Amino acid sequence: MITTRLSDARGRANFGWLDSRHTFSFGEYYDAAHMGFGPLRVINEDRVRPGQGFGTHGHRDMEILSYVLEGELAHRDDMGNGSTIRPGDVQRMSAGRGVRHSENNPSRDERVHFLQIWIEPDKRGIDPGYEQAHVGPEAKRGKLALIAAPAGAGGAVRIQQDARVHAGLFDGDEHATLALAPGRRAYVHVARGAIEVNGTPLGAGDAVKLVGEREVRLARGQGAEVLVFDLP
């Protein structure tokens, strides 16, 4: 079964400095039909103005991924980590038993456009942690690159959940297929451009849920950047 989640149907919050689209219920946006998908709890598409950002705040028991599409995002946390991520980078922060952090746009004249993703962990109260990796366009061009996975599974960053996140870039005749094991489901989010997923045409910000399918098929991309979540 394939169910679409169109971009225009998402929740929205605009605070001036932040323009955000919420795939699932978040903040003041509540939709009982869209509370998450398996352990995938949040996909927020955020655009932050130059010099602005999220002040220091806390989280617990969540695997938080940041994936930059345009611009730069500066991270600081009370574990002593400080870094700036750019397009091609993926950042993982395990909130565990508690962590405080900030995320800001360090640019004076360019906004940052990124995806903030929350995945519920399979264990609570773990030690908080941080990891960052770069997965360049050569690894994603016309194929799916593994950017996050359980520890020991070879993912670019390690998450505390039986979930795997892939990213790919597709244009023209480029295509890819991801097999799904029995009992697994998938969520496909189109970050940019347009593409067909199992024959369903999607544009930027659109997504599909796949339940009971044997595979994810990506084809006929037009400047597409896609995230594929393989979930229990």
Confidence at residue 53, expressed as pLDDT on a 0 to 100 scale: 85
Residue ranges of the chain with pLDDT lower than 50? Answer: none
Evaluate the CA torsion angle 75, 225, 138, 158 in order and state its sign: positive
Question: Length of the chain in residues, anyone?
Answer: 232
Nearest-angstrom CA–CA distance, 36 and 18: 22
Question: CA dist 158 to 12, 67, 106, 123, 188, Å?
Answer: 30, 14, 26, 14, 20
Other CB atoms within 10 Å distance of the CB of residue 152: 7
Nearest-angstrom CA–CA distance, 163 and 146: 11
Residue at 140: amino acid letter: K
Confidence at residue 80, expressed as pLDDT on a 0 to 100 scale: 85
Confidence at residue 57, expressed as pLDDT on a 0 to 100 scale: 87
Confidence at residue 191, expressed as pLDDT on a 0 to 100 scale: 98
Nearest-angstrom CA–CA distance, 177 and 215: 7
- What is this structure's pTM? 0.96
